Amino acid sequence: MSDDAVKIPPAVSGVGGWLDDRFHGAGGVRVLMRKVFPDHWSFMLGEIALWSFVILLLTGTYLALFFEPSAAPVVYHGSYTKLDGLSMSQAYQSTLNISFDIRGGLLMRQIHHWAALMFMIAIFAHMTRVFFTGAYRKPREINWLIGIGLLTLGMLEGLFGYSLPDDQLSGAGLRILFGVFEGIPIVGTYLMFFLFGGQFPGTAIIPRMYILHVFLIPGLILALVTAHLFIMFHQKHTQMPAKGNTEKNVVGQPFFPYFLLKGQAWFFCIFAALVALATFAQINPVWLYGPYTPLAISSASQPDFYMGILEGALRMMPAWEINFLGHTLSLSVLIPGLLIIGLFFTAAALWPFFEQWATGDKSFHNINDRPRNAPVRTGVGVGVICWYLILLLEGANDVIADRFDVPLYTVTWISRVAFFVVPVGAYFVTKRICLALQRKDANMLTHGVEIGIIRQLPNGEFIEEERPVTEEERAVLESKHVPAALPAPLETDANGVPAPAARGPLGRARAIANRCRSPPLSRVPFSPILVLYPSGILRMKSCASAIRAASSTMLSGTSGCPYAILFRTVSLNSTVSCVTLPISFRSESIVTSRRSCPSIRIRPSFTSKNRGIKFTREDFPAPLGPTNAITSPGCTVKLMPCSTCFVSPSLS
Amino acid sequence: MSETPEEPLGPRRVIGTPSTAPKAVDTQAESSRPAFSAEPEDLKHAKNAERLVAALFVLAFLAGCGFIAAFIGIEVGQNTIPKGANAVVAATRSNFALGTCLSIALLALGAGSIIWVRQLTPNIEIAEERHDLNSAPEDRAAFKRDFAEGAAISQITRRPLVRRTMLLATAPLALAPLVLLRDLGPLPQTDLRHTVWRKGLRAVTLGGLRPLRPSDISTPGSLITVIPEGYQSDDDALAKAGVILIKFAPGELHIPTNHDGGAVVSTMNWTIDNIVAYSKICTHVGCPVALYEQTTHHILCPCHQSTFDAANGANVIFGPAARALPQLPLMLTSAGFIAAASDFTQPVGPSFWERG
C-alpha cells in the first residue's frame, strides 16, 4: 500500500464489510478489479455492440410505454394532418403519436432505430475482427457460435422491430416474408398460417411480433450476451502479438480503474454518436410512407441493411421453379431466401472446426494471428465480404440503376456474374497481398528497417541505410504461428502406404485443404545470410551483401571461392529453417539486385543483363539439419546448427 | 556523414507494431507487488488535463440542464401547440433541441472520460498468468469417480424400468408446447387457391370505389387497379384479389393459348373490348405489381423487378418470378359494368408447396 493511496471513507468501508460478511466477496471482487484487459483498437468493436444493445434496451423500454401493438383499425385525426381521416392500425397511429405528440418521442424512436443499425454493424465488424485474427480458435469456438447466434437473433429482432409500426414499407417487408416462407416444402404454408393467424396480413401478426420483439428475442440476446461475456471473462482475453505477450499470460491494464473509465468513456461516446445521428439524420420516417395497405407499393423499397443480402439474393435469382412429384418447388425463392443465408451461417459456424481439421492444429491459442500470417483464412474472409457486399448492393439495384443511369437489368446481370467471379478473385488477390506482406516482414527481419538515408559507396553504388528491428518490432514480426504440415495429398511412406490422416476421400480432401494452407517449400521466400567459405563462414548483414560477397569472390576467380550460401527461409509451413545453395558446384556467376532478395533468381546461363537469379527446386537440397554438411572437392564445410541462423540472423 | 547515429533512424515505428514508448509493466507476484505512485510525473500537464476534464464535465452538466429546459419549454402535438401552428415543425424543433443538448452532454462526458483515463491516470500495465483451462488429470479422475458413484447410487443404470418410464413420461410433455401452438392459426386448406372474385362481382376502382364501364377506359395503354366491390376494407381479401385492368389498342394483345389437359384453351375471350385483367399480386413473393410501361407493355414489380409482358399473357420476361400473372376472366353485367366472370382459375401470388 503506497502512501498516496486513497483513504477509504469509513462509510464505504463499512458497507463493504457488511456485504463481505454476507457474500464473502472481497477475494472475488478483488480478482475482478485486477482483471487484465489487453488493449487494441479492434477490441472496441464488440463493445460497440454491447453498448448499443444497452441503449436499445433503454430506448426500447421507453417506446414500449407508448406503443400500442394492435392491428385494430382506427381513423386518424392527429398532429400529422397530411394523413388526417385515413384509416390505419392502432400500431401505426401510436407510432405517429410517439413521433409528433410526445416530447422526446421522435428522438427516442430515432435513437432506437440508429442503435439497432449500430448494433448490427458492430456485430459484423466484431465478427470480422475475430475471424481475421483467428480469435475463434481453441478454446473459444463456443463463443464464436454464440456470436453467430447473436447475429441471427439480431437480424430477426431488427426485422420484427421495423415491421411493428405497420407502415407501408414494413408491410411490404412482411408480405415478402410471407411469400418466401410459404415456399418452404411441406411445412411452409402451415408455418405462415400459424405465424400470421391465417392469411396475409390478418390482425394477429403485430401483437405476436411485439411480444417476440420486446420479450422473447431480447431475453435470448441478453442471455447469450451474458454467456458470451462470462465465457470471455473465464477464458481471459486474447491479445495481439507484442513483446512480453505469450500464450501463457495476458498483458494489459486492470479492470479497475482503467477499463471502468475506458468503458464509461466509450459508452458515452457511442451514446453521443447515436443521439447525434438521431438528431440530425432522419431515419425511417414512417409518416411519409403512410399506413399499410395491401395493394400499394413504392419503388426503392429497401429493408434495413442487415436484411439487405436477402433482398439482394431475391433480386439476383433467375426464375427457377420445378415441379417435384406433383408439388411446387419454388427455387427462385428458396435458394435466395433460405439457402444462401443458411449457407452463410452454417459455413461461419463450421469454420473453426474446419480449420482445426484442415490444419490438424489442436493447441490453445491466446495470441491472435496477424491477418497476413494466415493468408488462406484472410483470403476466404475477404472473399466472403465481397460476396456479402455484392448481395447487399444488388438489394439496392433499382437505386443504383437510377442514380448511375445504368439499365436495371444490366445491374442485375453484373451482380449475377460478380456473385461467382469477384469472391474468387478477391481470395487470390488477398492471399497474394498477405504473402507479399509476409515477405516484407521477412525482409525486415533479415535486413532491418530502411531508414531513409541513401549512401553512396566508393565504387559509386547507392545503398539505403538500414537499422535492425527493435525488440518490440521483432516480437510482432516473428509472431507467425504455423502448425506442422499434414502429409501431402497422395503422399505415401517407403512401403507405398498412405499416411493414416490422408486415407480415403475425406483424408485426401483434408490433405488438399492442408496443402492449400501450407504450400510446399519450393514456393517460400529465401534470404541469404551466411556465405560459406572453405576457410570459414562469413556472416552477412543482408542478403545483398551476401550475394555480392559470393559473386565478387567467384568472379575474381580466387581460391577462396565460396562453397555455398546459407539461406534463412521464412517459410509458410515452418517458422524458420535453413537451406543452402551450394554455389561452388556451379560454374556460372551470380549477380543480384539488392532489392530482389526474396525472389533471388539463378539462371544456368548468366548474362550481364540478367538482374535476377532464379532458383529451381533442384537447387535446394533438403533443409539442413544441425549435422548436415556440404562436401566439395578438396574440403568439407560443416554447417552450424540451424537454430543459430535465426537467433541472431541479421546482426554480425 | 560517416558517423553512426545513436538513435535508430528512419521510421520510428513499423506499422502494425507497438510503440516503443516505455510502459511500466508490473509482472510482480501479487504478494511482492511494489507500491506505485499515483502522482503524475508532469504536474503542470496533469493540472491542465484536470482543468480540461472539469470543463467538459461542466459543459455536460449545462447541456443536461438544457435538455430538461428544452423538454419543458418546447411543446409538441396539435393539442398543446398554439392553434394553427404546424405540429411537424414543432416536433422537429423539439427533436433538434433535445437531441443537440443530449448529444453535447454525452459527448462531453465521453471526451472528459477519455482525457481523464489517458492524461490523468499513470500508464500501468500488468501481466496476468493464464491457467490451463483443462482440469488436472487427478480432478478429472475424481470427477469421473464421483459421477460413476452418484450414478450407481441413483440406480439409474440398474433399474431400466424406472429410467425408460421416466423418459416415456417426458415425451408427451415435451410435445405439449408444440401442440399448444396448433391453435395459433387455421390450417391453410384451400385458402391460398381462391380469392373473393366470383361470377358477376363488379370491379371497382381502388381510389374512388367506382364501378367501370369499358368506355371509361378509353385510352389504350392505361393501367387501372381495381378491387372486388364491397371488399375495400377487407385487407385479407384485397391482399389476394387486387387486379389490374389494361386496355390495349386493337391487335396489340396476344394472349397465348394454353394446353389444358389436352384441350387447347384460349383465354382471349376472357377479355372485353381489348381490356385484359391480371392479378396485381406478383407471383414471386407477393408484392403488388405497380409499374407499367406503356410503350413496351411491361409490368414491373418494384420489389424484385420481376417483369411481365402484359401484351403476351403477362409472361415473365425478366426477374425471379417463375409464373405469369394469372388472368381474371371478365364479363359485362347487364348494366354494362366490368365484372368477373369467375374466380381466378389458378392460385394467385407466390408459389407454395401444395400448389402443384
pLDDT tens string A427-438: 999 998 988 888
The amino acid that residue B344 corresponds to is F
Kindly tell me if the per-residue pLDDT of A468 is higher than 90.
no
The amino acid that residue A460 corresponds to is G
- If one counts every other C-beta atom within 10 angstroms of the C-beta of residue B249, the result is 11
pLDDT tens string A73-88: 999 999 999 999 999 9
List CB contacts (< 8 A) between A317 and chain B: 320
SS3 B62: helix
pLDDT of residue A448: 77
- In terms of CA atoms, which chain A residue is nearest residue B290? A297
**Which element (helix H / strand E) includes A566?**
strand A564-569
Mean pLDDT value of segment A446-466: 78
**Measuring CA to CA, how many Å separate A129 from each of A155, A438, B131?**
19, 19, 25
Mean pLDDT value of segment A123-138: 96
The verdict on whether omega for the bond into residue B228 sits within 30 degrees of 0, i.e. cis, is no
List CB contacts (< 8 A) between A450 and chain B: 10-11
Positive or negative: CA dihedral A483, A487, A488, A494: positive
pTM for the model stands at 0.84
DSSP state for residue A216 in the 8-state scheme: I
- If one counts every other C-beta atom within 10 angstroms of the C-beta of residue B127, the result is 17
- In terms of CA atoms, which chain B residue is nearest residue A453? B10
Q: Please indicate if any CB of chain A lies within 8 Å of the CB of B305.
A: yes
Query: Is A507 buried (19+), middle (13-18) or exposed (0-12) by CB count in 10 A?
Result: middle
Whether residue A213 is contained in a domain is answered as no
pLDDT tens string B226-258: 999 999 989 999 999 999 999 988 888 887 766
Whether residue A488 is contained in a domain is answered as no
Yes or no, beta carbons of A268 and B107 under 8 Å apart: yes
Whether residue B116 is contained in a domain is answered as yes
Q: Please indicate if any CB of chain B lies within 8 Å of the CB of A264.
A: yes
Whether residue A110 is contained in a domain is answered as no
pLDDT of residue A640: 32
Yes or no, beta carbons of A101 and B187 under 8 Å apart: no
Kindly tell me if the per-residue pLDDT of A190 is higher than 70.
yes
Q: pLDDT-derived band of residue B223, with 50, 70 and 90 as boundaries? A: confident
List CB contacts (< 8 A) between B287 and chain A: 172, 175-176, 179, 297, 301
pLDDT tens string B9-40: 445 555 565 555 555 554 444 545 555 666 66
pLDDT of residue A634: 32
List CB contacts (< 8 A) between B305 and chain A: 315, 397-398, 408-409, 412
Whether residue A266 is contained in a domain is answered as no
Kindly tell me if the per-residue pLDDT of B295 is higher than 50.
yes
Instruction: Yes or no: say if A515 and A501 are a contact pair by the CB < 8 Å rule.
Output: no
Task: State the count of interchain CB pairs (< 8 A) between A and B.
Answer: 353
Residues 137-176 of B with CB under 8 A from A: none
The order of strands in the sheet holding A536-539 is A536-539, A526-533, A564-569, A577-581
Yes or no, beta carbons of B117 and A265 under 8 Å apart: yes
SS3 A151: helix
Kindly tell me if the per-residue pLDDT of A566 is higher than 50.
yes
Kindly tell me if the per-residue pLDDT of A594 is higher than 90.
no
Yes or no, beta carbons of B354 and A327 under 8 Å apart: yes
Q: Which of B95, B126, B157 is the last residue of a domain?
A: B126
Separation CA B94–CA B73 (nearest Å): 9
pLDDT of residue B276: 92
pLDDT tens string B303-338: 999 999 998 889 999 999 999 999 999 999 999 999
Whether residue A506 is contained in a domain is answered as no
Whether residue B219 is contained in a domain is answered as yes
Whether residue A558 is contained in a domain is answered as yes
List CB contacts (< 8 A) between A102 and chain B: 76-77
Task: Tell me the backbone φ, ψ of residue A175, rounded to 5 degrees.
Answer: -60, -40
Q: Are residues B207 and B343 in the same domain?
A: yes
**Which element (helix H / strand E) includes A323?**
strand A322-324
Q: pLDDT-derived band of residue A171, with 50, 70 and 90 as boundaries? A: very high
Whether residue A24 is contained in a domain is answered as yes
Q: Are residues B75 and B199 in the same domain?
A: no
Residues 484-543 of A with CB under 8 A from B: none
Give the count of domains, chain B: 2
pLDDT of residue A620: 37
Kindly tell me if the per-residue pLDDT of A389 is higher than 50.
yes
Q: Which residues touch A249 (CB under 8 Å, ≥6 apart)?
A: B127, B128, B129, B130
pLDDT of residue B78: 86
Q: Considering only CA atoms, which of A307, A319, A342 is closest in space to residue A416?
A: A319
Separation CA A603–CA A590 (nearest Å): 9
- In terms of CA atoms, which chain B residue is nearest residue A276? B103
Yes or no, beta carbons of A179 and B106 under 8 Å apart: no
* Range in A247-256, A439-448, A612-621 with the lowest mean pLDDT: A612-621
Q: Which residues touch A328 (CB under 8 Å, ≥6 apart)?
A: A321, B351, B352, B353, B354, B355, B356
- In terms of CA atoms, which chain A residue is nearest residue B15? A473
Instruction: Yes or no: say if A307 and A159 are a contact pair by the CB < 8 Å rule.
Output: yes
pLDDT of residue A595: 30
Separation CA A388–CA A258 (nearest Å): 37
Give the count of domains, chain A: 2
The whole-angstrom distance between B12's CA and the closest CA on chain A is: 9
The whole-angstrom distance between A126's CA and the closest CA on chain B is: 19
Q: pLDDT-derived band of residue A641, with 50, 70 and 90 as boundaries? A: very low
The whole-angstrom distance between B204's CA and the closest CA on chain A is: 14
Separation CA B352–CA B356 (nearest Å): 8
Whether residue A47 is contained in a domain is answered as no
pLDDT of residue B33: 55
Yes or no, beta carbons of A2 and B121 under 8 Å apart: no
Grid coordinates given for A63: 417506446
Task: Name the range with the highest mean pLDDT among A480-494, A602-616, B60-74, B207-221.
Answer: B60-74
Residue A436 or residue A639, greater confidence: A436
The amino acid that residue A46 corresponds to is G
pLDDT of residue A598: 28
Kindly tell me if the per-residue pLDDT of A550 is higher than 60.
no
pLDDT of residue A42: 93
Kindly tell me if the per-residue pLDDT of B261 is higher than 90.
no
Kindly tell me if the per-residue pLDDT of A129 is higher than 90.
yes
- If one counts every other C-beta atom within 10 angstroms of the C-beta of residue B142, the result is 12
Separation CA A357–CA A491 (nearest Å): 18
Separation CA B148–CA B346 (nearest Å): 65
List CB contacts (< 8 A) between B119 and chain A: none
Q: Which residue has the cell 567459405?
A: A533
pLDDT of residue A121: 97
Kindly tell me if the per-residue pLDDT of A630 is higher than 60.
no
Kindly tell me if the per-residue pLDDT of A377 is higher than 90.
yes
Separation CA A506–CA A501 (nearest Å): 9
Query: Is A349 buried (19+), middle (13-18) or exposed (0-12) by CB count in 10 A?
Result: middle
pLDDT of residue A64: 97
Q: Are residues B203 and B281 in the same domain?
A: yes
Q: Which residues touch A146 (CB under 8 Å, ≥6 apart)?
A: A224, A227, A228, A231
Grid coordinates given for A36: 487484465
pLDDT of residue B17: 58
Residues 154-213 of A with CB under 8 A from B: 172, 175-176, 178-180, 182-186, 188-190, 193-202, 204
Q: pLDDT-derived band of residue A639, with 50, 70 and 90 as boundaries? A: very low
pLDDT of residue A290: 93
Grid coordinates given for A589: 556467376
DSSP character string of A378-430: HHHHHHHHHHHHHHHHHTTHHHHHHHTT--HHHHHHHHHHHHHHHHHHHHHHH
Yes or no, beta carbons of B129 and A336 under 8 Å apart: no
* Range in A150-164, A324-338, A585-599 with the lowest mean pLDDT: A585-599
Q: Please indicate if any CB of chain A lies within 8 Å of the CB of B89.
A: no
* Range in A39-48, A477-486, A566-575, B347-356 with the lowest mean pLDDT: A566-575
SS3 A577: strand
Q: Which residues touch B14 (CB under 8 Å, ≥6 apart)?
A: A444, A449, A469, A473, A476, A477
pLDDT of residue A27: 86
Yes or no, beta carbons of B113 and A264 under 8 Å apart: yes
Q: Which of B99, B126, B153 is the last residue of a domain?
A: B126
Whether residue B165 is contained in a domain is answered as no
Q: Please indicate if any CB of chain B lies within 8 Å of the CB of A402.
A: no
pLDDT tens string B100-128: 999 999 999 999 999 999 998 888 888 88
Structural domain range at position B293: 193-351
Kindly tell me if the per-residue pLDDT of A395 is higher than 90.
yes
pLDDT of residue A506: 83
* Range in A119-128, A220-229, B128-137 with the lowest mean pLDDT: B128-137
The percent of chain B in helix, strand and coil, each rounded to the nearest 5, is 35, 15, 45
DSSP state for residue A52 in the 8-state scheme: H
Q: How many CA atoms lie within 13 A of A197 on its CB side?
A: 10
Separation CA A79–CA A72 (nearest Å): 20
Q: Please indicate if any CB of chain A lies within 8 Å of the CB of B107.
A: yes
* Range in A176-190, A397-411, B2-16, B204-218 with the lowest mean pLDDT: B2-16
Q: Are residues B205 and B298 in the same domain?
A: yes
Kindly tell me if the per-residue pLDDT of A584 is higher than 70.
no
A340-359 and A375-394 helices cross at what angle (nearest 10)?
180
Instruction: Yes or no: say if A532 and A550 are a contact pair by the CB < 8 Å rule.
Output: no
Q: Are residues B231 and B95 in the same domain?
A: no
Structural domain range at position A8: 1-31
The whole-angstrom distance between A298's CA and the closest CA on chain B is: 7
List CB contacts (< 8 A) between B90 and chain A: 100
* Range in A216-225, A439-448, B155-164, B166-175 with the lowest mean pLDDT: A439-448
- If one counts every other C-beta atom within 10 angstroms of the C-beta of residue B147, the result is 10
Q: How many CA atoms lie within 13 A of A116 on its CB side?
A: 26
Query: Is A453 buried (19+), middle (13-18) or exposed (0-12) by CB count in 10 A?
Result: middle
Q: Which of B82, B97, B126 is the last residue of a domain?
A: B126
Separation CA A197–CA A259 (nearest Å): 49
Separation CA B243–CA B200 (nearest Å): 15
Whether residue B120 is contained in a domain is answered as yes
pLDDT of residue A362: 86
The amino acid that residue B132 corresponds to is D
Average pLDDT, chain A: 80
CATH code for position B232: 2.102.10.10
Whether residue B170 is contained in a domain is answered as no
Mean pLDDT value of segment A96-111: 96
Burial A108-121 (b: 16+ CB within 10 A, else e): bbbbbbbbbbbbbb
The amino acid that residue B145 corresponds to is R
List CB contacts (< 8 A) between B128 and chain A: 34-36, 236, 249-251
